[in-house]
Structure formats: structure tokens, C-alpha cells
Amino acid sequence: QRPKLRLIRPIRVLVVSRDRRFLGLARFLLTRDGLDVDTTTRPGDLFESIQGGGVDVVVMDATGALGASARVAAELEALYPELGVIVVADEPEPYARALPALPKWRGLEQLADLVRRSYLRLSPA
């Protein structure tokens, strides 16, 4: 069930993935649900984007880069405790112990709800 809330401004989401198809679909679905979405194919731009204060939740694609993604997620959580971080991956099951990741494609329709829950500091449903 979708949390009911009224915000002064839309939740600002940054989607980071080298997969342009995923970026396009994620942008479409999140924007359709009223979120303010920016995307990048360059993970190196992530910290610069966040430093400006224009991001509430990061959706990070860990596909093929588990170690680097785990380090980035830990650094984000340490530096920006108010920032929500959602990690997705093509096949998250093998990653579960090192870095909890959501199914990149199977759960895409629920991504907007996960972003809202992350923003509100609620556990995933």
C-alpha cells in the first residue's frame, strides 16, 4: 500500500546506471509517479550531484560492479545519512549477503513506492 503524504516539492531521485535502457524506463516510471528524476551513466558524477543538495534518494545499479557499489553505498550512507540509497542489480540473489540489492527488472513497477519508503525512512514492504 502506497504511503499517503503531501510534499511541498517532489522527491528528487538520481538514478545511476551504465544501462541506458534501464535509465530510460526508470525515468519514465518514476516521473509518471510524480517524482523529480535525474539520471547519469557516469557513477563518478554521483558525489558531485549529491553535494549540491539536489538529491533525496539515489537508485544505484550494481550490476557487474558489486564491490565498487558496496563501497559507494557505504560511503553515501556515512557522508549523507539523510540520503536514501536503493541498490538494484540484474541478478541480486548472489549479492544478498554483501550488498542487499533489489531485482533490477522484476521490481521496476514498485520502484516509485520503494523510493517514497526510502525517503520516509520506512522499511521496504
What's the average model confidence in pLDDT over 22-50? 91
> What band does 13 get if pLDDT is binned at 50, 70 and 90?
very high
What's the average model confidence in pLDDT over 70-83? 90
> 19 has which bridge partners?
none
Residue 89 has pLDDT above 80, yes or no: yes
> What band does 39 get if pLDDT is binned at 50, 70 and 90?
very high
pLDDT at 85: 92
Buried b (16+ CB within 10 A) or exposed e, 97-114: eebebbebeeebebbbbb
pLDDT at 61: 93
What's the average model confidence in pLDDT over 20-25? 96
